[in-house]
Every structure is written in structure tokens, then in C-alpha cells.
């Protein structure tokens, strides 16, 4: 094969050069559409439309996407819509049940995209610390977002908590001690997350990408650089390739600190893109 032919071959995805280029911008604005009724109960899900853009960039049709903390299954729903297979893990049985119901309906709608629609996607109830035991097939792409530490439990979220509690919606994920969103001490939380991503890396095939969507978090008047810490620590075993910054511009501004201190309204997340490097390939 000539050099120029090889250059033109797209080994990563099925996008046109134009769509490839569009995705290369290092920031984007994505305002999540209103949530469907069945998934309102989950306190923090990411939009399927956003997931689909990432999945279509980092995989080819038919490849396998993993979300080790899948919640109500947004990444897997997006995988099915894109004609990719999916596997998800979540600790909380209630979310796993919601995800399974949603996925059944979604695979039915998109059954023409799969040879075996029933085997296309599955949701496991379990601890992400066991990913290497729960997922046996090599994974082509990981798209995931962790609990943002114990943010849902902290001061400053009282109004949101009250509003959600009034509607009988969850205000945090669970009381399970294995839920990393219940770890109080920041360094312990970070260590536990890094340990989870280490076993997730084990199931990735060489040269597969992983995207972690995360924010820096504030507590007690101080910023804890969760996104930057994860970039550095996970970067010790998966190469940190770059970041894409997800901005939201449809959120109501709150007057935090007005008149006495600088406190921002944080309306951006980091999408950290890692790759499993392989010296032999």
C-alpha cells in the first residue's frame, strides 16, 4: 500500500474529515436537553447527545464501550444509538434497573444496527473496583464520570437537595460504604478513584482511549483540583493525551460570596482524554 493511501485510511473512527476536524476543538458548549422522566431520580447524569459525539470519535461501529460507573446508562444508550456495543457497571441496584429498562427499549429501536441486538449491551450491578473480574472482553473505549467527591452531601447544595427531596428524587447516590461518593477525606477519595481506573485500564485493549468527565470541586472556601489530580495520577498508567472543556451556558447564576469574596459559578467540566500506550504495537 502506498504511503498516501495509508495516510488516508481512518483507523480510529468512521467520521468524515469534516466531522473529525469539528471534534478537534478543545472546548465546546453543550447545554443538556431536559431529562426524560425515568432518569430524573439520578442526581447527576450526563447527556446522551454529548456521549454520542465522543463515542463516534473514539470508536468504529461494532466496537465495545465501557462505563464502569454507568448510573442510569447514558453512555451505553449513546453507544447503542451509534451502533456500538456497551457494558456498564454501577453499584446502586436501582440505577442498574433503570439503565436496563432504558437499554432494552433503545436496542429494540436500533435493532437494525446490530447482528445480535440482545447481546449488544449489558449492565452489571457491582463495584467498579472489580471491573477486571466483571468485564472479560477487551474494551475499545471507556467513557465515564465519577462522583465529584462528596459534593452532593456538602453545604451549599441545600436548596437543590430540598427541591429534589420534595419531589422524592435522590439527593445523593447511596448509603453504601463502597460508593466512592461517600468518602469524606479528599486524598482517600482520590486514591480510591485512581485504583478503580487502574483496573479499568487492565481491560482496555492496547491503543484504546478513555475519557473521564470531571470537575474541580470546591469545599470550605477552597478548591480541590480533582480534574487536574486525576490527569496527573491516571496519567501515570494511561497517557494523558489532552483535554476538551465542556461549557454550559444555560445555568442560573448564584450570588456566591457577593460583596465579600471571589467564588465562581463553575459551569465547565474537563473531558480528560487518555490512551493506553503499547510499546509493541
Ligand X SMILES: C[S@@+](CC[C@H](N)C(=O)[O-])C[C@H]1O[C@@H](n2cnc3c(N)ncnc32)[C@H](O)[C@@H]1O
* CA triple 74-79-83, angle to 5 deg: 150
Number of residues this chain uses to bind ligand X (CB under 6 A): 26
Closest to ligand X by CB, 4 or 167: 167
Give the residue with the Cβ less far from ligand X, 174 or 216: 174
- Residue 41 or 275 having the CB closest to ligand X: 41
Query: In b/e form, how buried is each residue of 179-191, taking b as 16+ CB within 10 angstroms?
Result: bbbbbeebeebbe
Among 53, 56, 90, 229, binds ligand X (CB under 6 A): 90
> Based on CB atoms, which residue is closest to ligand X, 129 or 276?
129
235: left (phi over 0), alpha (psi -120 to 50) or beta: alpha
| 66 sits near ligand X (criterion: CB under 6 A) | no
By CB under 6 A, is residue 270 in contact with ligand X? no
Q: In what order do the strands lie in the sheet with 239-247?
A: 27-29, 239-247, 268-275, 204-214, 139-144, 64-67, 85-90, 121-125
Binding to ligand X (CB under 6 A): which residues in 68-87?
69-72, 74
**92 or 208, CB closer to ligand X?**
92
Rounded to a whole number of angstroms, the minimum distance from the CB of residue 194 to ligand X is 13
Task: Say if residues 214 and 146 touch (Cβ distance below 8 Å).
Answer: yes
Which of 56, 140, 179, 229 contacts ligand X by CB under 6 A? 179
Least separation in angstroms between CB 51 and ligand X: 8
Whole-angstrom Cα distance, residue 206 to residue 228? Answer: 24
**Nearer to ligand X by C-beta: 63 or 74?**
74
Q: Which residues, 6 or more positions from 47, have their beta carbon under 8 angstroms from its beta carbon?
A: 30, 32, 33, 74
Kindly tell me which residue out of 172, 173, 189, 197 binds ligand X, with binding defined by CB under 6 A. Answer: 173
Q: Is 95 among the residues that bind ligand X (CB under 6 A)?
A: yes
127 touches ligand X (CB under 6 A): yes
**Which residue's CB comes closest to ligand X?**
71
DSSP state of 42: S
x/- string (CB under 6 A) for ligand X, residues 24-63? ------------------x-xxx-----------------
Give SS3 for 205. Answer: strand
> Cα-flanking dihedrals φ and ψ of residue 122, to 5°?
-145, 155
- Produce one character per residue of 146-171: b if its CB has 16 or more CB atoms within 10 Å, e if not: bbbbbbbeeeeeeeebeebeeeeebe
Residue among 68 and 231 whose Cβ is closer to ligand X: 68
Task: Report d(CA 179, CA 269) in Å as an integer.
Answer: 21
Where do contacts with ligand X occur on this chain (CB under 6 A)?
42, 44-46, 69-72, 74, 89-92, 95, 127-129, 145-147, 173-174, 178-181
Amino acid at each position: 500500500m502506498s504511503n498516501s493511501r495509508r495516510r488516508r485510511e481512518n483507523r480510529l473512527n468512521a467520521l468524515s474529515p469534516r466531522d473529525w476536524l469539528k471534534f478537534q476543538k478543545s472546548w465546546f458548549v453543550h447545554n443538556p436537553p431536559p431529562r426524560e422522566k425515568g432518569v430524573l431520580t439520578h442526581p447527576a447524569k450526563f447527556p446522551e447527545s454529548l456521549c454520542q459525539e465522543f463515542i463516534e470519535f473514539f470508536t468504529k461501529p461494532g466496537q465495545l464501550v465501557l462505563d464502569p460507573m454507568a448510573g442510569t446508562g447514558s453512555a451505553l444508550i449513546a453507544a447503542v444509538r451509534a451502533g456500538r456495543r456497551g457494558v456498564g457497571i454501577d453499584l446502586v441496584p436501582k440505577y442498574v434497573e433503570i439503565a436496563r429498562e432504558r437499554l432494552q427499549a433503545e436496542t429494540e429501536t436500533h435493532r437494525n444496527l446490530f447482528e445480535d441486538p440482545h447481546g449488544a449491551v449489558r449492565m452489571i450491578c457491582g463495584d467498579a473496583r472489580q471491573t477486571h473480574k466483571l468485564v472479560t472482553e477487551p474494551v475499545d473505549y471507556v467513557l465515564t464520570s465519577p462522583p465529584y467527591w462528596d459534593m452532593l452531601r456538602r453545604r451549599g447544595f441545600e436548596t437543590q437537595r430540598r427541591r429534589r427531596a420534595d419531589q422524592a428524587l435522590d439527593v445523593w447516590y447511596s448509603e453504601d460504604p463502597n460508593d466512592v461518593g461517600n468518602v469524606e477525606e479528599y486524598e482517600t477519595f482520590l486514591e480510591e478513584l485512581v485504583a478503580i481506573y487502574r483496573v479499568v485500564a487492565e481491560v482496555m485493549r492496547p491503543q484504546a482511549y478513555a475519557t473521564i468527565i470531571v470537575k474541580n470541586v470546591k469545599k470550605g472556601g477552597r478548591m480541590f483540583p480533582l480534574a487536574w489530580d486525576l490527569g496527573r495520577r491516571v496519567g501515570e498508567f494511561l497517557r494523558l493525551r489532552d483535554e476538551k472543556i465542556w461549557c454550559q451556558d444555560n445555568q442560573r447564576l448564584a450570588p456566591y460570596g457577593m460583596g465579600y469574596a471571589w467564588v465562581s459559578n463553575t459551569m465547565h467540566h474537563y473531558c480528560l482524554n487518555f490512551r493506553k500506550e503499547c510499546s509493541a504495537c
